[in-house]
Amino acid sequence: MMDLLAHDTSIWIAISFLVFVFVAFKLGRKSVLGALDGQIAEVKSEIENAERLRVEAQELLAQYQRKQRDAEKEASDMLDRAKDQAKQIQKTAETDLKEVMARREVQLADRLKRIEENAIAEIQNHAAELAVAATTEMIVKSLDEKSNNKMNEDTIQSLPKHLN
């Protein structure tokens, strides 16, 4: 058997391979396991980081969805308030218009009454002027110069009595 061991190279290759594997396992095990543990720790860290980012993203999504619902509710409330204000403004405008129309009608009635009174006064003045003119014309035709002079003298003489 020693002869076989001395001359067979494949046995020596197998023995040297086993010794190499044993030495490599003893010496390289820590570095290989350390590298694998580092890789595992790095992968775990990335998984934890991804999970944390996923949770943050879900929280942000929920927060934005709440904000969107709140904004939609606020917009709806604003729209309702604007509609109510528009209705109130319309009612106020209608009331104001009715009041203005009533005042204008009163003003127009007063104006028409004043115009009517002025027209009646003008007609009465014109009638009085016509009556005076007709009377004057009748008196002028019926009086002669002698009776006119006598009437003027009588009026002048009676003036001091009426003035005192």
Q: Which of 4-18, 19-33, 114-128 has the highest mean pLDDT?
A: 114-128
| Position 89 pLDDT exceeds 90 | yes
| Position 59 pLDDT exceeds 90 | yes
Q: Give me the percent of the chain exceeding a pLDDT of 90.
A: 55
> Span 1-17, mean pLDDT?
77
pLDDT of residue 14: 87
Q: Residue 79, exposed/middle/buried by CB under 10 A (0-12, 13-18, 19+)?
A: exposed
Q: Higher confidence at residue 120 or residue 7? A: 120
DSSP codes of every residue in the chain:
-HHHHHH-HHHHHHHHHHHHHHHHHHHHHHHHHHHHHHHHHHHHHHHHHHHHHHHHHHHHHHHHHHHHHHHHHHHHHHHHHHHHHHHHHHHHHHHHHHHHHHHHHHHHHHHHHHHHHHHHHHHHHHHHHHHHHHHHHHHHHH--HHHHHHHHHHHHHHHHHHH-
What digits encode the pLDDT tens for the residues 115-160? 999 999 999 999 989 988 888 887 777 767 777 778 788 888 887 7
- Using pLDDT thresholds of 50, 70 and 90, give the confidence band for residue 164: low
Phi-psi region of 143 (alpha: psi -120 to 50; beta: other; left: phi over 0): beta
Domain boundaries, the chain: 2-146
pLDDT of residue 1: 58
